[in-house]
């Protein structure tokens, strides 16, 4: 009798629970995503918005995003991947070939609408017949400048916004003479910004084909054209074009250095600059009324391609090959691959994307900037990688130490750069 009563109570409780909760359904599926951009409010806003939209379109799915600073993310991923506890989706960049070589990434070849992605951006994540990353962020190397400061120096840019080599060197010297740092740049926490001056000079002087050969070790660094480009950079370094704190100045600090304190005439930086600079001043953005301009890198004497410049895929998302929800994770990444999402990224994150977009449709306070950037980049021919995305092994390590750090810091001569880089050629 007591057993019967207990069973009846159990059934009654079950019926009451169903009345309040409805019939049993599928358990919630949680996708985990670890990403850089902890200090990029605009990019976080875009990704969180995409996650919420995907959840709405896919009931029963929850996307948990954890935000990191870049180095902390890489350290966490290294440990988690080894322990088999990595997230379903994580931030990566194409130069991180160790992920590909160790088969840690899920092949997205059949999961993404690749017709909505720029071909060169897709190629950046292609490896041995597969495609392993969604190229969300892309950026070019741009020469930003303070319009008011340039006008105060009595300089007017030509219609194509490109000074000649002698004019540019004179501008640097005039700026330094006024006590205004000519070019804000620093390598305190990144392995690439210090090389911007050198590789943009090299790509112009050599042209796309021979520049590619140089990065792949197929062209002598003692080539007269290479020497000429290096001598141009050495002239700028000797003219005190860069901050005295160049070697310790961090990326975020270099932004503030340019637009606020102490201030600089120009800023040679990736076009992700606005993702920080267009924030409110109290969040590290430009001061109210700051007049930002974009000019072409100077046309070097005898350059094979004076309108050549670098473009690269930056922050991307990849799927963990060991994920139990790899197909669903790939479906989430595919939700980014639409023109509408690409334009929203431009408008919110304020940097280019590897997904096909139409900057002419951008409205609001940033429309003028994107128009100017689009006009300048429309005149350019691009090499679609940075040196660290092409060079490997010892060559990459030496390039980072020599061309990114020691040379622009004024610690090495042109001959020493040539000697050290040639020693890495196989």
| pLDDT for res 275 | 86
Q: How confident is the model at residue 276 (pLDDT cuts 50, 70, 90)?
A: confident
| pLDDT for res 362 | 82
- Chain segment 182-197, per-residue pLDDT in tens: 999 999 999 999 999 9
Q: How confident is the model at residue 27 (pLDDT cuts 50, 70, 90)?
A: low
pLDDT surpasses 50 at 20: no
pLDDT surpasses 60 at 207: yes
Residues 209-234 have a mean pLDDT of 98
3-state secondary structure the chain: CHHHHHHHHHHHHHHHHHHHHCCCCCCCEEEEEEECCCCCHHHHHHHHHHHHHHHHHCCCEEEEEEECCHHHHHHHHHHHHHHCCCCCEEEECCCCHHHHHCCCECCCCCCCCHHHECHHHHHHCEECCEECCECCCEEEEEEEEEHHHHHHCCCCCCCCCCCEHHHHHHHHHHHHHCCCEEEECCCCCCCCHHHHHHHHHHHHHHHHHHHHHHHCCCCCCCCHHHHHHHHHHHHHHHCCCCCCCCCCCCHHHHHHHHHCCCCEEEEEEECCCHHHHCCCHHHCCCCCCCCEEEECCCECCCCCCCCEEEEEECCEEEEECCCCCHHHHHHHHHCCCCHHHHHHHHHHHCCCCCECCCHHHCCCCCHHHHHHHHHHHCCCEEECCCHHHCCCHHHHHHHHHHHHHHCCCCCCCHHHHHHHHHCCCC
Tokens found for residue 377? 């980049």
**Percent of the chain residues past pLDDT 70, beyond the cut:** 94
Higher-pLDDT residue of 282 and 132 is 132
Domain ranges of the chain: 29-137+314-357, 139-312+375-422
| pLDDT for res 367 | 86
Note whether 29-137+314-357 and 139-312+375-422 share their fold.
Answer: yes
How many angstroms separate the Cα of 64 from the Cα of each of 53, 70, 294, 412?
Answer: 13, 18, 38, 48
How many angstroms separate the Cα of 100 from the Cα of each of 85, 122, 315?
Answer: 18, 15, 16
How many angstroms separate the Cα of 363 from the Cα of each of 55, 115, 184, 189, 385?
Answer: 28, 25, 30, 34, 30
Higher-pLDDT residue of 292 and 1 is 292
Name the CATH architecture for the domain at 139-312+375-422: 3-Layer(aba) Sandwich (3.40)
Higher-pLDDT residue of 61 and 284 is 61
Residues 79-106 have a mean pLDDT of 96
CB under 8 A, 24+ apart: contacts of 167-175: 167/298, 168/298, 169/235, 169/236, 169/239, 171/265, 172/236, 172/239, 172/241, 173/239, 175/149, 175/265
| pLDDT for res 3 | 41
| pLDDT for res 9 | 45
| pLDDT for res 35 | 98
| pLDDT for res 358 | 86
| Closest to 313 (Cα-Cα) out of 388, 374, 377 | 388
Q: How confident is the model at residue 57 (pLDDT cuts 50, 70, 90)?
A: very high
pLDDT surpasses 70 at 4: no
State the chain's mean pLDDT as an integer.
92
| pLDDT for res 426 | 72
- Chain segment 402-419, per-residue pLDDT in tens: 999 999 999 999 999 999
Q: How confident is the model at residue 145 (pLDDT cuts 50, 70, 90)?
A: very high
pLDDT surpasses 80 at 17: no
pLDDT surpasses 90 at 177: yes
Contact 380, 394 (CB under 8 A): no
The fold adopted by the segment(s) 29-137+314-357 is D-Maltodextrin-Binding Protein; domain 2 (3.40.190)
pLDDT surpasses 90 at 140: yes
Q: How confident is the model at residue 12 (pLDDT cuts 50, 70, 90)?
A: very low
Higher-pLDDT residue of 19 and 152 is 152
Residues 36-50 have a mean pLDDT of 93
pLDDT surpasses 90 at 202: yes
The model's pTM is: 0.84
pLDDT surpasses 60 at 82: yes
Contact 333, 114 (CB under 8 A): no
Q: How confident is the model at residue 26 (pLDDT cuts 50, 70, 90)?
A: low
């Amino acid at each position: 009798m007591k057993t019967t009563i207990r069973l009846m109570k159990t059934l009654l409780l079950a019926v009451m629970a169903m009345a309040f909760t409805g019939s049993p359904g599928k358990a919630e599926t949680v996708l985990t995503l670890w990403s850089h951009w902890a200090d990029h409010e605009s990019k976080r806003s875009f990704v969180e918005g995409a996650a919420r939209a995907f959840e709405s379109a896919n009931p029963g799915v929850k996307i948990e995003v954890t935000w990191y600073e870049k180095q902390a993310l890489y350290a966490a991923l290294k440990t988690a991947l080894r322990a088999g506890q990595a997230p379903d989706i994580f931030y990566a960049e194409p130069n991180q070939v160790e992920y590909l070589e160790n088969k840690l990434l899920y092949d997205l070849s059949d999961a993404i609408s690749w017709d909505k992605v720029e071909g060169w951006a897709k190629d950046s994540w292609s490896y041995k017949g597969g495609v392993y990353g969604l190229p969300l962020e892309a950026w070019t190397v741009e020469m930003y400048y303070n319009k008011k400061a340039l006008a105060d120096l009595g300089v007017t840019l030509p219609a194509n916004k490109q000074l000649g080599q002698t004019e540019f060197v004179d501008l640097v010297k005039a700026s330094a003479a006024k006590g205004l740092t000519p070019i804000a740049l620093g390598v305190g926490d990144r392995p690439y910004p210090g090389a911007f001056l050198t590789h943009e000079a090299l790509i112009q002087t050599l042209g796309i084909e021979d520049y590619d050969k140089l990065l792949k070790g197929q062209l002598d660094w003692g080539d007269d054209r290479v020497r000429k480009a290096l001598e141009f950079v050495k002239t700028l370094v000797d003219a005190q074009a860069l901050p005295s704190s160049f070697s310790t100045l961090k990326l975020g600090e270099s932004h503030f250095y340019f637009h606020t304190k102490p201030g600089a005439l120009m800023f040679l930086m990736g076009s992700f600059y606005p993702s920080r600079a267009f924030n409110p001043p109290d969040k590290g953005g430009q001061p109210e009324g700051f007049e930002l301009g974009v000019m072409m890198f100077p046309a070097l004497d005898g350059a094979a391609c004076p309108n050549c410049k670098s473009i690269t895929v930056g922050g991307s998302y990849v799927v963990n090959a060991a994920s139990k929800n790899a197909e669903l994770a790939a479906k989430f990444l595919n939700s980014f691959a639409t023109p509408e999402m690409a334009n929203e990224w431009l408008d919110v994150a304020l940097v280019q994307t590897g997904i096909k977009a139409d900057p002419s449709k951008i409205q609001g306070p940033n429309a003028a900037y994107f128009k100017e950037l689009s006009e300048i980049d429309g005149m350019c021919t691009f090499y679609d990688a940075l040196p660290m995305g092409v060079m490997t092994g010892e060559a990459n390590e030496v390039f980072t130490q020599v061309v990114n750090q020691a040379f622009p810091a004024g610690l090495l001569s042109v001959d020493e750069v040539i000697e050290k880089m040639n020693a890495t050629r196989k």
